[in-house]
Amino acid sequence: MIIELRQDILVANQKMVSVVKERLAQEKVLMLNIIGSPGSGKTSLLEATLAGLTERFQVAIIEADVETKRDSERLERFGAPLYHINTGGMCHLESDIILSSLDQMDLASIDVVIIENVGNLICPADFDIGEHAKIAVSSVPEGDDKPSKYPVLFREAEAVVLNKVDLVPYTNFNTENFTTDLRRINGTVPLFELSATGGDGVQAWLDWLVQRIEASQAVDVTASI
């Protein structure tokens, strides 16, 4: 007997995505999914972001780490609610684990949830976790060919951060090559060239983020009237 069908293989993940999205919409919470290579500066970007946002917004962080809790420890000093996920070897996050983190949060008091996904440019891009936007983080020492080698992440991203621009003079990184390749893959995505640890360019990223948070809150308000 042959059964013909068209069924999503990731249906279980997608079901939880719907629940996550509903939960976030109810409480008007924006959720961002930060994706980039190991060491690209995802946690450093979170540090810079928390330093710049926590006065105006309630930010909650979900930290995914394959093994340690080091990244969570680095972020504790900001006092933002912090949820740690040890993926135990998994190369990406799925929506069920995000839902159990959201279950522990007082979402009514939170404006934005920022997730640091597992350091990886391929697998996390393939799993929807109910986020409103994926943010791709790439960094200068990785080389200027990352968009062309990992196009799907850069295509799916709603913003791209090029981190560690302070290191450009010490490498053969060619910013024009990076930008040209990125534009072929995603011609409309905002690009933030910055130094998460040095501070250069961070303000433009924060301004975009503030706008994004305010826009999502405004949309949700009109939708509920």
Ligand X SMILES: Nc1nc2c(ncn2[C@@H]2O[C@H](COP(=O)(O)OP(=O)(O)OP(=O)(O)O)[C@@H](O)[C@H]2O)c(=O)[nH]1
Contact pick of 24, 137, 185, 191 for another protein (by CB under 8 A): 185
| By the rule CB under 6 A, 49 interacts with ligand X | no
Q: Which is nearer to another protein, 83 or 154 (CB)?
A: 154
Cα 107 to Cα 84: distance, rounded to the nearest angstrom = 16
Residues 156, 129 contacting (CB under 8 angstroms): no
Residues 126, 45 contacting (CB under 8 angstroms): no
DSSP letter for each residue of 104-136: TS-GGG-SEEEEE--S-SSGGGG---S-SEEEE
| By the rule CB under 6 A, 117 interacts with ligand X | no
**Phi, psi for residue 34 in degrees, rounded to 5:** -90, 120
Contact pick of 108, 122, 215, 219 for another protein (by CB under 8 A): 122
Contact pick of 12, 14, 26, 39 for ligand X (by CB under 6 A): 39
Min dist CB 87 to ligand X, Å, is 12
Q: Which residue is nearest to ligand X (CB)?
A: 119
Amino acid identity, position 5: L
Which residues partner with 133 through β-bridges?
Answer: 32
- The residue assigned the tokens 């008091």 is 109
Q: Which is nearer to another protein, 152 or 219 (CB)?
A: 152
- Residues lying near Mg ion in the complex (CB under 5 A) are found at 42-43, 71
Q: Which is nearer to ligand X, 126 or 200 (CB)?
A: 200
**How many binding residues for another protein (CB under 8 A)?**
32
Binding mask 184-203 for ligand X (x = CB under 6 A): -----------xxxx-----
Min dist CB 156 to another protein, Å, is 8
Interface of this chain with ligand X, residues 143 to 182, rule: CB under 6 A: 163-164, 166-167
> With left for phi above 0 and alpha for psi between -120 and 50, is residue 160 left, alpha or beta?
beta
| By the rule CB under 8 A, 94 interacts with another protein | yes
Contacts for 34 with CB less than 8 Å, ≥ 6 apart: 42, 45, 46, 114, 115, 116, 117, 135, 137
| By the rule CB under 8 A, 131 interacts with another protein | no
Residues that bind ligand X (CB under 6 A): 36, 38-44, 71, 119, 163-164, 166-167, 195-198
